[in-house]
Amino acid sequence: MPKVVGVDDWIQASKATAADLDALPRVDVWPRLDSDALQGLAGEFVDAIDPYTEADPVGVLGHLLAAFGNVVGDGPHALVQHDHHPARLNIAFVGRTSKGRKGMAFSPVRYALRQVRDSWARDRIRAGLSSGEGLIYHVRDAREEIKAVRKGGQTSHEPVLVDAGETDKRLLIVESEFAVVLKRMLGESNSLSGVIRQAWDSGDLATLTRNSPLTATGAHISILAHITEEELRRYLTETERANGFGNRFLWLLVRRSKILPAGDPVPDNELDPLIEKLRVAVNSAQRREELRRTQRAEDLWEEVYPRLTEGEPGLLGAILGRAEAQVLRLSLVYALLEGADCIRERHLRAALAFWRYSEASARRIFGGRLGAPVADTILGALQVRGALSESDIWTLLGKHRTAEEIHAALDFLARTGKARSTTKRTKGRPAVIWEPIQ
């Protein structure tokens, strides 16, 4: 049996508090991007940019896929039964520190797409997510009200346009301080999480608040978010938030790729041909409607679908809960970047490679966490020190949690196969010892 240690020893050894989930050990293996993800124009763009930027190539690729998907709008789509899946992606770039060069990755993408669609780059990129109502406002429908109108000495009640709304329903949110957004979402009255879910799912937005008559139909909202690992683990910890919000995002670990003191821009002779290819791709995509898989792509889809839909328990399972939908949308974007009228096998393989990197990132960030704060705290303590007596667990959490919460957490750990208990005889009352199951 592993050595039983007191809770004070654990706290001192790990420099942790009862609320510190970062005590959970994790394998420090950085994910690797498969070359399949760099096929076609996406790969050409990343390869051309890479010598001139400190940004992670994964970061440049992710910004390109999401931004391009927003430019083309919600016309081109893949169909699952009656549900449309347009080229709409939310991607969160996660760095160990603020020096991960997350924001730098968007600079060349924004510059290139500005040459393709200047009005989009000027008017349809926003920052500062604060509330669901605020997000709806930027893609709101026109609104009429019935008002008294005086004509020819007669008064009639007629619909009057009081808000012209937004005719362009595309919106790319670039959120450089995503931790602030997650903190705002902790407030019970904040509707942002629900609206973001609606935006990803259908693009038809509304809130139930009586004082907010804003609605939006056909909104095409994409989000590029930047956050550090520490902030993400602190503010996205509960399964219900991850399940309702987190799995609408692709999570990508990024880091500084190199040191370039000069900061020279990409030469025009290298960037201009890529801009022209992007222009052709955007023009082609905006003429498309439904894109279907070829037979070879369909065969591959049938092969990978069981794995994508398998599901896992805990917080990680919640984060990865929309794998098949994310891969489908990614394959659509890769196809549109090529100007294709169907999703071919190579587009699906590129999407799968990108998803594997996102999945590996999520496993490194969230792996081992159950999405239940009390159970995660106990499991972290057990994994750090090997075993703890039940009385020590009580000492760790008793001041902040009720007996019912602690009992429920221990029962949850046992049911999910994360920890087991044994009874040890002592001179007094038998001691219940908990240890992690590897």
Last residue of a domain, one of 344, 366, 388: 366
The Cα–Cα gap between 180 and 129 comes to 9
Can you give the pTM of this predicted structure? 0.81
Q: pLDDT at position 19, please?
A: 44
Please indicate, yes or no, if residue 150 is contained in any of the structural domains.
no
Q: pLDDT at position 27, please?
A: 43
Q: Which of 107, 384, 388 is nearest to 264 (CA)?
A: 107
Please indicate, yes or no, if residue 157 is contained in any of the structural domains.
no
In terms of domains, do 98 and 215 share one? Answer: yes
pLDDT above 70 for 238: no
The neighbour count for residue 352, using CB atoms within 10 Å, is: 22
Tens digit of pLDDT for each residue in 87-140?
Answer: 999 999 999 776 656 678 999 999 999 999 999 999 999 998 988 999 999 999
Please indicate, yes or no, if residue 280 is contained in any of the structural domains.
yes
* Lowest mean pLDDT across 147-156, 269-278, 324-333: 147-156
Q: Which of 190, 256, 353 is nearest to 53 (CA)?
A: 256
* CATH code at position 182: 3.40.50.300
Last residue of a domain, one of 366, 394, 426: 366
In terms of domains, do 302 and 405 share one? Answer: no
The Cα–Cα gap between 437 and 430 comes to 22
Q: Between residues 329 and 187, which one has the greater pLDDT?
A: 329
The Cα–Cα gap between 357 and 255 comes to 14
Q: pLDDT at position 208, please?
A: 66
* Tokens of residue 83, six digits: 């549900």
* Lowest mean pLDDT across 48-57, 196-205, 410-419: 410-419
φ, ψ of residue 416 in degrees (nearest 5): -90, 5
Question: Which residues, in sequence order, are CB contacts of 274 under 8 Å at separation 6+?
Answer: 41, 44, 45, 48, 112
In terms of domains, do 391 and 354 share one? Answer: no
Please give the share of the chain, as a percent, with pLDDT higher than 70: 87
In terms of domains, do 299 and 392 share one? Answer: no
Q: pLDDT at position 425, please?
A: 79
Q: pLDDT at position 188, please?
A: 62
In terms of domains, do 270 and 234 share one? Answer: yes
What is the mean pLDDT of the segment spanning 164-177? 96
Q: Which of 33, 83, 93 is nearest to 59 (CA)?
A: 93
* Lowest mean pLDDT across 42-51, 209-218, 279-288: 209-218
What is the mean pLDDT of the segment spanning 210-224? 88
Tens digit of pLDDT for each residue in 140-165?
Answer: 999 888 888 888 778 888 888 888 99
φ, ψ of residue 202 in degrees (nearest 5): -135, -25
Rounded (10°) CA dihedral 290, 296, 300, 305? 40
Please indicate, yes or no, if residue 145 is contained in any of the structural domains.
no
Please indicate, yes or no, if residue 339 is contained in any of the structural domains.
yes
Q: pLDDT at position 190, please?
A: 75
Q: pLDDT at position 210, please?
A: 58
Q: Which of 37, 25, 7 is nearest to 357 (CA)?
A: 37
In terms of domains, do 83 and 97 share one? Answer: yes
Q: Between residues 213 and 94, which one has the greater pLDDT?
A: 94
What is the mean pLDDT of the segment spanning 201-218? 83
Tens digit of pLDDT for each residue in 6-30?
Answer: 444 434 443 334 344 344 444 457 8
In terms of domains, do 205 and 301 share one? Answer: yes
Q: pLDDT at position 115, please?
A: 98
pLDDT above 90 for 189: no
Q: pLDDT-based confidence at 205, cuts 50/70/90?
A: very high
pLDDT above 60 for 251: yes
**Count: domains in the chain:** 2
Domain limits for position 383: 7-20+370-436
What is the mean pLDDT of the segment spanning 199-209? 88
Q: Between residues 101 and 410, which one has the greater pLDDT?
A: 410
Q: pLDDT at position 95, please?
A: 92
Q: pLDDT at position 154, please?
A: 82
What is the mean pLDDT of the segment spanning 29-57? 95
In terms of domains, do 36 and 116 share one? Answer: yes
Please indicate, yes or no, if residue 1 is contained in any of the structural domains.
no
Under DSSP, is residue 437 helix (H, G, I), strand (E, B) or coil?
Answer: coil
In terms of domains, do 290 and 396 share one? Answer: no
Name residue, tokens 């000027």: 122
Q: pLDDT at position 212, please?
A: 62
Q: pLDDT at position 12, please?
A: 44
Tens digit of pLDDT for each residue in 354-404?
Answer: 999 999 999 888 876 665 667 778 887 887 878 888 888 888 876 677 877
In terms of domains, do 94 and 176 share one? Answer: yes
* CATH code at position 383: 1.10.10.10
Please indicate, yes or no, if residue 202 is contained in any of the structural domains.
yes
pLDDT above 90 for 348: yes
Q: pLDDT at position 230, please?
A: 85
Last residue of a domain, one of 314, 335, 366: 366
The Cα–Cα gap between 121 and 436 comes to 51
Q: What is the mean pLDDT of the chain?
A: 86
What is the mean pLDDT of the segment spanning 237-249? 75
In terms of domains, do 104 and 202 share one? Answer: yes
The Cα–Cα gap between 276 and 182 comes to 38
In terms of domains, do 309 and 349 share one? Answer: yes
Please indicate, yes or no, if residue 163 is contained in any of the structural domains.
no
Task: Tell me, letter by letter, the H, E, C secondary structure of 232-257.
Answer: HHHHCCCHHHHHHCHHHCEEEECCCC
